[in-house]
Structure 1
Amino acid sequence: MPLIRDIAPADYPVVEELLYATDLEVVGSYDTGGLDVVVAELQGRLVGVAEFELHRDFGHDEGQEAHPGEQTFIYTVAVAPTDRRGGVGRALVGEIARRAQEAGDTFLALVPQDGAEEAGRQAFFRACGLTLYGPDRPGAAWGCPVSEVLAVNDTADAAGE
């Protein structure tokens, strides 16, 4: 399993390369922009990153469907192409869910990036326990209770995934 930890400034260049390699655009040099950011390491190599914000009430003003409880919004989950399907992404989402629960948030939400790998991203988020909520349209929000993500993660951990 990967080591999940808070980002450090020394990680910024590697995160920038990782985001570029996964078709997530970085304008200028990488900076957290005030977001919470965790990274994943495997054997000393940084192989994943996730950006999120606790207590972020995304979407209600933009017409997104309402959801119950306090919310954590996930902005980015990126895993190096060579390290996908090894539990790195699931570990990152699980860490966000743990932090959300500790902060008192009860719901996770995100908007999957569209584009060439949209179906794969959606399948990944489904496997983590998230589902589409509200109308199926471009920019539609996905989410679920934090407890569901933690339950899926615990089940995967017990199975050795």
Structure 2
Amino acid sequence: MAQSAISQHIAALAGIPKQPTAATVYPFPAVKPGHRMVPAKVGRSSETAVTVLLECPNWCLVDHVDEYVGDLRDVMHRGDNAYVAVPTFGYGAYPVQIHAGIELDPASDDEKFRAAHIVVTDSTGNNYSHLTEDMADRLADDLIGLASELRHQARTARLHNASQGAQVRGEAV
């Protein structure tokens, strides 16, 4: 019986000496859903730092190479910051600001910090609150209520000022 083309080639290869194999190749790690692999620089200075691959949440905006850390445990993940600035016609040194953003500290001893959470800060960054998702929902409801009350106060002030202007001009209110 005739040999197939494949078996003829296999037979022809039998005389070739064994070649050394390449170094062991490790498969790329599986990445959790909602994450990506990014480079991160770790070291005491930019000159001595090494670059490693790091699993990073898709919402994280930190450039882990540009903002390098001394130890891999110091890597923090931060998302986009939303904020509101409160205007003033007065003489405040700083306008009142409220900032909110997503953060997580994967090496924290506290499981709440290892989970994604919302951080609310003032403009100085010295005063801050860490919120779970439920706490953030309750705060959002309270802020909606505050916004409604702020509109009510603006209407009251507007009516008061309009009546004062009429009185100043000698008009009937």
- Structure 1 length normalisation: TM-score? 0.28
Higher helix share: 1
User: Highest relative contact order (Cα 8 Å, sep 6+), 1 or 2?
Assistant: 1
- Structure 2 length normalisation: TM-score? 0.26
